[in-house]
Amino acid sequence: MIKFEKVSWEEYKKAIEELCSNRLVDIDYDALREEWENIKLPTRATRDSAGYDFYAPCIMNFYPSAVPATIYPTGIRFITDRDDIFLMCVPRSGLGFKKGLRLWNTTGIIDSAYWKSDNEGHIKVKMSAKAITTLKPGQAFMQGIIVPFLKVDADDAIAERNGGFGSTDRKVNK
């Protein structure tokens, strides 16, 4: 099984509340619910495209690196039962070339265990650009490329984790 799904309404609402927590912003939950309902699953633009385009669920503002970056929820999770593939997330090449859009962690790696975390494997992005860049809802901004990988013959990793980016150090042995 390999697929994209929307995260639950509850997870998306929680992520937006976290996004707005240190801003003086009132959340219109009816509008937010509509935003969640309109989240578009990633798609390939052409049959030869390697990546699945991710679409902005809301207005997204990206700033030069000197400004603290905002973490935006995509409303999307990647689900697979295969342990030999991962989703590599990178900015769309046109936005990277023209606007200098980049991920703060350079490349996002979503492996097969990520979707089982408490946040439902909610893919979030932290990006910056050469100049202030605003994306409109529905605009493609990032692509996810499903990549196979190999393991060494003597691989004995058994630990599991619960969490998103940067959670590999918080392992739980089974």
- pLDDT tens, position by position, 53-99: 999 999 999 988 767 778 899 999 999 999 899 999 999 988 888 98
Q: What is the pLDDT of residue 144?
A: 97
SS3 102: strand
Q: What is the pLDDT of residue 6?
A: 97
Q: What is the pLDDT of residue 163?
A: 56
46-50, 109-113, 154-158: which is most confident: 46-50
Q: Distance between CA atoms of 108 and 110, rounded to whole angstroms?
A: 6
Q: Distance between CA atoms of 142 and 174, rounded to whole angstroms?
A: 35
Query: Looking at the DSSP assignment, which residues form a beta bridge with residue 87?
Result: 110, 146
Amino acid at 134: T
Q: Distance between CA atoms of 102 and 96, rounded to whole angstroms?
A: 6
Does residue 51 register a pLDDT over 90?
yes
Four-residue CA torsion sign, 132, 136, 141, 144: positive
For 125-147, how does the pLDDT look when each residue is reduced to its tens digit (9 = 90+)? Answer: 999 899 899 999 999 999 999 99
* DSSP code at position 138: T
Element (H, E) at 12: helix 9-20
High-pLDDT (> 90) share of the chain, %? 58
- Paired tokens of 13: 């609402």
Q: What is the pLDDT of residue 157?
A: 78
- Confidence class of residue 162 from pLDDT cuts 50, 70 and 90? low
5-14, 90-99, 157-166: which is most confident: 5-14
Torsion of CA 15, 7, 104, 152, to 10 degrees: 140
Q: Average pLDDT, stretch 32-45?
A: 97
Closest-CA residue to 90 (of 133, 52, 37): 52
Residue 78's CB: how many other CB atoms inside 10 A? 23
Q: Distance between CA atoms of 88 and 111, rounded to whole angstroms?
A: 9
Q: What is the pLDDT of residue 174?
A: 46
Q: Distance between CA atoms of 123 and 109, rounded to whole angstroms?
A: 10
Does residue 40 register a pLDDT over 70?
yes
- Paired tokens of 102: 């980049």
Does residue 35 register a pLDDT over 60?
yes
